[in-house]
C-alpha cells in the first residue's frame, strides 16, 4: 500500500522509512518512462516550488527547475543575493512568509540547521538540495541508478574514497538503510562524523549489512561493486584546496586502485569532478563509469520526491 508522504520534508535520507525510499524509486521509474515516451504527467499542475541557492549549482538547479515544469508547476530561483535573508531576516520569518505563497521549498545552503529550521517554522515541505552535512537527493538518485543497473541493492558493496563530507554522510545513510555494505576510506582527520557512522552501524545491524570506515583506500575498494568519489575540497572549502590536494593524493581513484574492486565494478561521482585530482580520466571516462546516468536520474527521482511531498 502506498505511504502518504504529503507535506513531508526531505532533509535527510535517515528520516525516510525503507518503504518510503522504495516508493520514491517506483514513482521515479514510472515518471522516467512517461518522460521518455512523451506521456503527460502534470501531477503538480499550478504548484510553485521556491528554490533557494546560497551556493552554485548546475545539476540541482536545472533538474529541479525542469522537473517542476514537467510536472505542470513552476520553479522560482532565488540566488544568494535575492532574499532578505541576506540582510538579516530570520529563517523563521522567511519560512512563515514563504509558506503563504509557495507549495514547496528546495534549499541549498551551508548550515544544515538552517534547513531543519526552515522546515520547522514553515508549513510547506522543504527539500534539502545540499548542505555542508548532507546531500540526500543526490544519494537517492544514485541508489535508483544502481537499482536500474543491478536490479537490486541489498548485498552490494559500495566503496567511497575521499573526503568524509556531505556525500559520504548521505551515502552512509542511504546504503545502510537499504542493506548495502558501505566502506568509506578517507585520510586521517577527514573521516565522516561519528554520529552518522554510528547511526549507519545501527541501520546496517538491522538490515544485516556492513559499515567500514578506514584510512586504507585499497581495503575499502576490495571486492566493491561500486566505487564512488567526490571532490577533495567542497563548496566553501576553497581556501583549503591546496593543502587537501597533498593530503588526499593516496585517495585518488585511478586504474591501480580500481584493480581491487570486482571486475564489473561501476564508477560513480556526484559531479562536478576535478579530473586529475580525485579521479583520473582512465576511470571516469571508462565503460565502468555511469556518471551521466546518475546525473540524469536526479531529474526523475526529484520529480518523484516533489510529486509525493508537494
Ligand atoms: N551533484 C550536484 O549536486 O551538482 P550541482 O552542484 O551541479 O547541483
Ligand atoms: N561535496 C561537494 C558535492 C557537490 C555536489 C560539495 O559540497 O561541494
- Per-residue pLDDT tens for 15-60? 999 999 999 999 999 999 999 999 999 999 999 999 999 999 999 9
User: What is the pLDDT at residue 49?
Assistant: 98
d(CA 300, CA 24): 10
> Quick one: 126 and 206 in the same domain?
no
* 64 confidence band (pLDDT: 50, 70, 90): very high
The answer, yes or no, to whether any atom of ligand 1 lies below 6 A from the CB of 103, is no
| Rounded Cα gap, residues 127 and 121, in angstroms | 14
Asked if residue 3 belongs to a domain, the reply is no
pLDDT in tens, 240-274: 999 999 999 999 999 999 999 999 999 999 999 99
Instruction: Please state, in angstroms and as integers, the Cα–Cα distance from residue 253 to each residue in 145, 186, 256, following that order.
Output: 20, 12, 8
Query: What is the average pLDDT across 159-171?
Result: 99
In this structure, is residue 32 part of a structural domain?
yes
Kindly state the average pLDDT of the residues 218-232: 98
Q: What is the mean pLDDT of the chain?
A: 98
Task: With respect to residue 2, please indicate whether it lies within any of the assigned structural domains.
Answer: no
The percentage of the chain sitting over the pLDDT mark of 70, rounded to a whole number, equals 100
Say whether both 113 and 155 belong to one domain: no
Residues 147 and 240 in one domain: yes
pLDDT digits (tens, 9 = 90+) for 173-202: 999 999 999 999 999 999 999 999 999 999
Asked if the structure places residue 7 within a domain, the reply is no
d(CA 136, CA 174): 8
My answer on whether 22 and 68 are in the same domain is yes
The per-residue pLDDT for 1 is 64
Nearest to residue 108, comparing CAs of 92, 85, 132? 132
Same domain for 122 and 141: no
Q: Is 131 in the pocket of ligand 2 (CB under 6 A)?
A: no
Question: Is residue 4, in this structure, part of any structural domain at all?
Answer: no
Whether residues 193 and 227 share a domain: the answer is yes
Residue with C-alpha cell 551521466?
A: 292
Which residue's C-alpha cell is 584510512? 215
Q: Is the CB of 133 under 6 A from ligand 2?
A: no
pLDDT of residue 156: 98
**Contacting residues for 100 by C-beta, under 8 A, at least 6 apart:** none
- CB-ligand 2 contact for 231 (6 Å cutoff): yes
Task: Give the distance (Å) from ligand 1 centre to CA of residue 108.
Answer: 10
Whether residue 142 sits in one domain with residue 126: no
CB 124, CB 104: distance < 8 Å = yes
Cα separation, 215 vs 189, in Å, equals 9
Same domain assignment for residues 215 and 241: yes
The reply to whether 302 falls in a domain is: yes
CA atoms of 172 and 221, how far apart (whole Å)? 15
Question: Does residue 265 fall inside a structural domain?
Answer: yes
pLDDT of residue 68: 98
Which ligand gives the minimal distance to the CA of 110? 2
What's the number of domains the chain is made of? Answer: 2
Q: What is the pLDDT of residue 194?
A: 98
Query: Comparing C-alpha atoms, which of 124, 72, 73 is closest to residue 97?
Result: 124
List the grid coordinates of 15: 528520516
Q: Which of 126, 205, 204, 200 is nearest to 169 (CA)?
A: 200
Is ligand 1 within 6 A of the CB of residue 97? no
Which of 141, 171, 270, 295 to probe ligand 1 with, by most ligand atoms within 8 A of CB?
A: 270
Residue 104 in this model has a pLDDT that exceeds 70: yes
Q: How many whole angstroms separate alpha carbon 226 and alpha carbon 158?
A: 5
Tell whether 1 is covered by a domain. no
Q: Is the pLDDT of residue 7 over 80?
A: yes
Question: Do 229 and 303 fall into the same domain?
Answer: no
Do 210 and 240 lie in a common domain? Answer: yes
Domain containing residue 22: CATH number: 3.40.50.1370
Same domain, 282 and 233: yes
| Owning domain of residue 202 | 136-294
Spatial CB neighbours of 3, under 8 Å, sequence gap ≥ 6: 17, 19, 20, 23
- Ligand closest to the CA atom of residue 166: 2
CA 73 to ligand 1 center in whole angstroms: 22
Cα 299 vs. chain centroid, distance in angstroms?
Answer: 12
Amino acid at each position: 500500500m502506498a505511504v502518504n508522504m504529503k507535506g513531508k520534508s526531505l532533509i535527510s535520507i535517515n528520516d525516510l522509512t525503507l518503504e518510503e525510499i522504495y516508493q520514491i524509486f517506483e514513482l521515479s521509474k514510472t515518471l522516467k518512462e512517461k518522460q521518455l515516451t512523451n506521456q503527460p504527467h502534470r501531477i503538480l499542475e499550478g504548484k510553485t516550488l521556491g528554490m533557494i541557492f546560497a551556493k552554485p549549482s548546475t545539476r540541482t538547479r536545472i533538474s529541479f527547475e525542469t522537473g517542476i515544469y514537467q510536472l505542470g508547476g513552476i520553479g522560482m530561483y532565488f540566488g544568494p543575493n535575492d532574499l532578505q535573508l541576506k540582510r538579516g531576516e530570520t529563517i523563521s520569518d522567511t519560512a512563515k512568509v514563504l509558506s503563504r505563497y509557495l507549495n514547496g521549498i528546495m534549499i541549498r545552503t551551508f548550515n544544515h540547521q538552517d534547513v531543519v529550521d526552515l522546515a520547522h517554522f514553515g508549513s510547506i515541505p522543504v527539500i534539502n538540495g545540499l548542505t555542508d552535512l548532507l546531500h540526500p537527493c543526490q544519494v537517492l538518485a544514485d541508489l535508483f541508478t544502481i537499482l536500474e543497473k543491478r536490479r537490486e541493492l541489498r548485498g552490494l558493496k559500495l566503496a567511497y574514497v575521499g573526503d568524509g563530507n556531505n556525500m559520504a554522510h548521505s551515502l552512509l545513510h542511504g546504503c545502510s538503510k537499504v542493506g548495502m555494505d558501505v566502506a568509506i576510506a578517507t585520510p586521517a582527520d577527514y573521516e565522516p562524523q561519528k554520529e552518522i557512522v554510528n547511526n549507519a552501524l545501527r541501520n546496517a545491524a538491522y538490515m544485516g549489512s556492513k559499515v567500514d570506515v578506514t584510512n586504507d583506500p585499497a581495503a575499502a575498494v576490495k571486492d566493491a561493486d561500486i566505487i564512488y568519489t567526490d571532490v577533495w575540497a567542497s563548496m566553501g572549502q576553497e581556501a583549503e584546496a591546496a593543502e587537501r590536494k597533498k593530503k588526499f593524493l593516496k585517495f585518488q581513484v585511478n586504474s591501480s586502485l580500481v584493480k581491487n574492486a570486482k571486475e564489473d565494478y561501476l564508477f560513480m561521482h556526484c559531479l562536478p569532478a576535478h579530473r586529475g585530482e580525485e579521479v583520473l580520466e582512465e576511470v571516469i571516462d571508462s565503460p565502468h563509469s555511469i556518471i551521466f546516468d546518475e546525473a540524469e536520474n536526479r531529474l526523475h527521482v526529484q520529480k518523484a520526491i516533489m510529486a509525493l511531498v508537494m
